Amino acid sequence: NKYILSTLHADPNLLALSQMTFTASFGALKMYGPYLLGVGPAQPSPLLTQRWQDFTVDMFIVGIMRVLTVVLGLVSLKYVAVSFTETVKSSAPFFTVIFARLILNERTSMMVNLSLVPVVSGLALCSASELSFNMIGFFAAVVNNCIDCVQNVFSKKLLSTHYNYVNLQFYTSAAALVVQLPYMLYSFEWSAAQPSSALALALLVNGILFHLQSVLAYAVMGLISPVTQSVANTLKRALLIWLSVLYFANPVTFMSALGTAVCISGVFA
């Protein structure tokens, strides 16, 4: 994502639209492909057991959240380093505990709550000493983090009712695409676009990887609690932080590195 935005100078909205288009298209193939090819049944529709009005509300809510998380995440990457964005997102377990309690009435132990103290402390330390700090990027990363946590908890609730991970992934992607497309067509500066074969190839690879990540996230979500998934995601973020530092050669202060380490260690405490 950072490479496409910074090196190829793609618009965040274009990248977000590309990701949603790919994952919705692949999701449709997974849902209806076997039936259309005559090799198997289509995936069950939640409309068989759910009212249309309830389905529409569910998809509108999740669709809005999916668009916001993708766009805000890309906006954050446009303004700050990948390592800083992922450090902010490493505080996800803190927010997930709160939203899981409010939405799912899921309680966590005192030890889990205490382990979140270094998460917040490390994030504050990292933010205060981050060389690439930018208020727009920081705000986008924090809001993205909160919405992503709400989306995960709400999706977990849906998975326990009328949905499985295949149809939930497809319908939420399609809903997000429907929500995003009108805004994209209205706001995108087509005259400023710089199409190239390198950008097209990058968007193709990015779209495929985004879809695989999306499917895997929903599949795992159906097996474990939102808090456990949030903690597991932090391992991915730790890897992304240091890979981005090595690849983009971002300058990192001692205090910023210490804050990142404290934040991640709090998650695994």
Q: Provide the pLDDT for residue 120.
A: 66
Q: 184: which 2 tokens?
A: 């994209």
Enumerate residues 6+ apart whose C-beta is below 8 A from 14. 184, 188, 193
Q: 155: which 2 tokens?
A: 């999706």
Yes or no: say if 168 and 47 are a contact pair by the CB < 8 Å rule. Answer: no
pLDDT at residue 12 above 60?
yes
Compare 46 and 64 and report the one with higher pLDDT.
64
> 116-120, 128-132, 143-147: which range is least confident on average?
128-132
pLDDT in tens, 73-102: 888 878 877 777 777 777 777 778 888 888
Q: Provide the pLDDT for residue 123.
A: 62
Helix and strand totals (H; E) in the chain = 11, 0
pTM, 2 dp = 0.74
How far apart (Å, rounded) are the C-alpha atoms in residues 207 and 217? 15
pLDDT in tens, 166-221: 888 888 888 888 888 887 777 666 655 667 888 889 999 999 999 998 888 888 88
pLDDT at residue 47 above 80?
no
pLDDT at residue 61 above 80?
yes
Q: Provide the pLDDT for residue 266.
A: 66
Yes or no: say if 84 and 137 are a contact pair by the CB < 8 Å rule. Answer: yes
Q: 38: which 2 tokens?
A: 């005559």
Res. 238 pLDDT band, cuts 50 70 90: low
How far apart (Å, rounded) are the C-alpha atoms in residues 22 and 34? 18
Among 10, 132, 125, 129, smallest CA distance to 82 is for: 132
